[in-house]
Amino acid sequence: MKGLVHIYTGNGKGKTTAAVGLGLRAWGRGMKVLMVQFLKGMESGELIAIRKLGDGFHVNPGIYMGKFTWNMNEKELAQAASLQKQQFEYAKNEIMTGKWDLLILDEIMAAITAGMIPLEDVLAFIKGRPDKLEIVMTGRNAPDILIEAADYVSNIQEVKHPLKKGVAARRGIED
Ligand code: ATP
Ligand code: MG
Model confidence pLDDT, tens digit, residues 114-128: 999 999 999 999 999
- Which region among 28-42, 112-126, 136-150 has the lowest average model confidence (pLDDT)? 28-42
Q: Would you say residue 132 lies in a domain? A: yes
Provide the domain count of the chain.
Answer: 1
* Distance (Å, whole) CA 4 – CA 38: 21
Q: Would you say residue 138 lies in a domain? A: yes
The residues assigned a catalytic role are 11, 13, 15-17, 25, 68, 70, 107
Q: Cβ distance 32 to 97 under 8 Å? A: no
Ligand 1 atom 15, closest CA: 174
Q: Would you say residue 171 lies in a domain? A: no
Ligand 1 atom 20, closest CA: 174
Give the pocket of ligand 1 (CB within 6 Å): 11-17, 107, 138, 140, 158, 161, 163, 169, 174
List the beta bridge partners of residue 102. 33, 134
Once rounded to an integer, what is the mean pLDDT over residues 152-162? 97
Query: Which of 7, 9, 11, 13 most suits a substitution to test ligand 1, by most atoms within 8 Å of the C-beta?
Result: 13
Q: How far is the CA of 142 from the centre of ligand 2 (A)?
A: 13
What CATH number has the domain bearing residue 73?
3.40.50.300
Q: Would you say residue 134 lies in a domain? A: yes
Q: Would you say residue 172 lies in a domain? A: no
Q: How far is the CA of 75 from the centre of ligand 2 (A)?
A: 25
User: Could you tell me the CA-to-CA distances from 99 to 22, 75, 81, 112 in Å, in that order?
Assistant: 18, 36, 27, 26
List the beta bridge partners of residue 128. none
Q: How far is the CA of 16 from the centre of ligand 1 (A)?
A: 8
pLDDT score recorded for residue 70:
84
Q: Would you say residue 174 lies in a domain? A: no
Q: Would you say residue 173 lies in a domain? A: no
Q: Which domain holds residue 115?
A: 5-165
Q: pTM to 2 decimals?
A: 0.95
Q: Would you say residue 175 lies in a domain? A: no
Per-residue pLDDT of 44-95, as tens digits, reads 999 999 999 999 999 999 877 888 888 889 999 999 999 999 999 999 999 9
